[in-house]
Structure 1
């Protein structure tokens, strides 16, 4: 019996330490389980990254109800993304981009609906997440197939052992607990297929979807790689064979929106670029608004200064201008950011609470603009 138990113990230990199966790319179909792809997997109480799955971060991430995000990219052996100066990197067929949304939890609070509102400090040193410290909510995949990109949302179960495909979306009620003890209710929305396309359909004419975050200007920053130390992400991707055609010289870079050492204008533009610019651009779904907030727009009227709103309806809050320089209280932009009314709020998707720090940044930015009489 002792020999049997010892043998069983060794077998279980070997099973726990055995390397996972490789990442699986599905050229068609919609696998029901996140584990079918095997990009990230649960083992030994942790969410882990498979071989050649690279974590990354953005200088200014898109706001989603204070959720933290673990971002990864995987490409087939021998394939690489091609550098592009403005648009998202040109990823090869077979690419899988994942984004896992999660919240830290109070001590002993795993499995409950109370989660912590805190700054996103990224994954742990090994690139993964300790499941006794976080509540996994969903993992979204962007998969590059021959016909283009496809978006797949997977929702994690209560046991934090598996995530299932939810093509129709999901609504989760959570309570955000802040450091001062205050609480806020979050109606966290997992997007359905149409809503995924609503944001990722960055070209209104083609209707095709594309990644939003992995652009050179968002990736051009250092990242603490597990076991490799801190390194610039674009340089790292080149080194491991994930990125080609990068030009010599200085590359575009957005500052972090909350970096106090960066100029206020640059921080505000970076925030608007990632949160609004994929729709509010010359190609995006909100191009007919005439207000373009992407990084390439330089025309002050297009940026909203002294610009009359177009078909905004109740979204104006009876304010006359998208941006009234020097007067945030007279500007439509912060008014819509401060609202949670579905008929008023901007962005329209991805949040149920106000990003207080983001609103404060944009209000400060507008207040710092030289006052200007926009007329009547």
Structure 2
């Protein structure tokens, strides 16, 4: 047999091995029911050792992200062809029926089965993730149906080949390794349906759930798309997927961990994304009288020299929510530093203390002009 034939056969095998797996069917929106497998939605798919985004699925990020036990997050949104979200100056964008928002929680892989505690630098340029570099934990979907939003938590298997619906939640044991060599054992909590509503029920009166992150002030910054950097709001607008965007300056939060931004703006951005969906004039914690969303500016409402309401053991025997100039005397820092379920704030979504976030809020309170709240 001529020598060139085996070589041609080998080349064909190598090319076949390198060929990219075909893309899945288009994204599928389910107007009812609760599909058991994440793959049934076709928003994300696994191919060639990567988690990939389907056609017309937009990746996005937030200037300041909600803390979830140091997990990294891949966020996407998909809207039906011809449909668009409507701009809102304050709350979440008004997404059309048929919208699917996804948030995949993952950690970079470390040595010896650990996962890394590290800053979230975002997904890869095409919005995907290389699976041998990360440990996928869960993907949460928020689905906009005619009757309102539905939250669905999907948990990834150890092989990272599929994610299945876990309506009752789950605990995923992880070992978190820091750059300093410290290791922490973590039972990562996947929320159940009621816990999803506990955070996403941003209006105490209606009890309906809604998105928390995709608000104009959280999206108004550049994102590194595969085609180049662009402002997210303007990019969505150019694609025809966001309408009614006003001309001129739009609201914008700073990144809480940007050392070049003013301290007050950083602290308020952190409290806005981590606390403001509950602690607002409409949220579940409105009766506390402490409102921490970006639109609250009254010093007393923010907590300065404010007496707590029905905080119980959550006060730590401290008299005031915030004592200006004195973080050690403030209830806010006490609750942020706790992991006691009856004390800690936020009360859902974390099992660990966000050390960098606590340090920021302590610095913010310490920088306030000292005040005797009892005077």
TM range (shorter): over 0.9
- Cα distance in 1 between the residues matched to 2:174 and 2:21: 34
- Cα distance in 1 between the residues matched to 2:149 and 2:11: 47
5+ unaligned residues in a row in structure 1: which ranges?
A: none
5+ unaligned residues in a row in structure 2: which ranges?
A: none
Residue aligned with 1:361, SS: helix
2:368 is the alignment partner of 1:364: no
Task: Give deviations 1:206-230, integer Å, cap 9, x for gaps.
Answer: 000000000000000110001x111
Runs (4+) off by over 3 Å: 5-17
- Cα distance in 2 between the residues matched to 1:140 and 1:215: 18
Name the residue aligned to 1:213: 213
Name the residue aligned to 2:239: 240
- Cα distance in 1 between the residues matched to 2:23 and 2:285: 46
Name the residue aligned to 1:285: 284
**CA RMSD, Structure 1 to Structure 2 (Å):** 1.9
- Cα distance in 2 between the residues matched to 1:155 and 1:316: 35
The counterpart of 1:62, out of the listed 60, 63, 66, is: 66
The counterpart of 1:46, out of the listed 38, 45, 50, is: 50
- Cα distance in 1 between the residues matched to 2:311 and 2:22: 57
Name the residue aligned to 1:297: 296
Name the residue aligned to 2:87: 83
Name the residue aligned to 1:100: 104
Task: Give deviations 1:117-156, integer Å, cap 9, x for gaps.
Answer: 0000000122100000000000000000000000000000
- Cα distance in 2 between the residues matched to 1:142 and 1:12: 37
The alpha carbon displacement at 1:16 in A equals: 4.0
Residue aligned with 2:300, SS: coil
Residue aligned with 1:210, SS: coil
Matches within 5 A, 1:171-182: 171-182=171-182
- Cα distance in 2 between the residues matched to 1:246 and 1:362: 33
The size of the alignment, in residue pairs, is 371
Task: Give deviations 1:167-221, integer Å, cap 9, x for gaps.
Answer: 0000111111001111111121000000000000000100000000000000001
The counterpart of 1:29, out of the listed 29, 33, 54, is: 33
- Cα distance in 2 between the residues matched to 1:30 and 1:6: 46
TM-score w.r.t. length of structure 2: 0.96
Residues 11 and 37 from structure 1, CA distance in 2 versus in 1: closer, same or farther, beyond 3 angstroms?
farther
Residue aligned with 1:291, SS: coil
TM-score w.r.t. length of structure 1: 0.95
- Cα distance in 1 between the residues matched to 2:173 and 2:335: 23
- Cα distance in 2 between the residues matched to 1:100 and 1:152: 12
Task: Give deviations 1:303-346, integer Å, cap 9, x for gaps.
Answer: 00000000000000000000000000000001000000000000
Task: Give deviations 1:89-136, integer Å, cap 9, x for gaps.
Answer: 0000000000000000125x5xx3x21000000001221000000000
Matches within 5 A, 1:173-322: 173-226=173-226, 228-322=227-321
The alpha carbon displacement at 1:18 in A equals: 2.0
- Cα distance in 2 between the residues matched to 1:35 and 1:11: 27
- Cα distance in 2 between the residues matched to 1:200 and 1:7: 53
| Greater alpha carbon shift after TM alignment, 246-255 vs 124-133 | 124-133
The alpha carbon displacement at 1:17 in A equals: 3.5
The alpha carbon displacement at 1:13 in A equals: 5.8
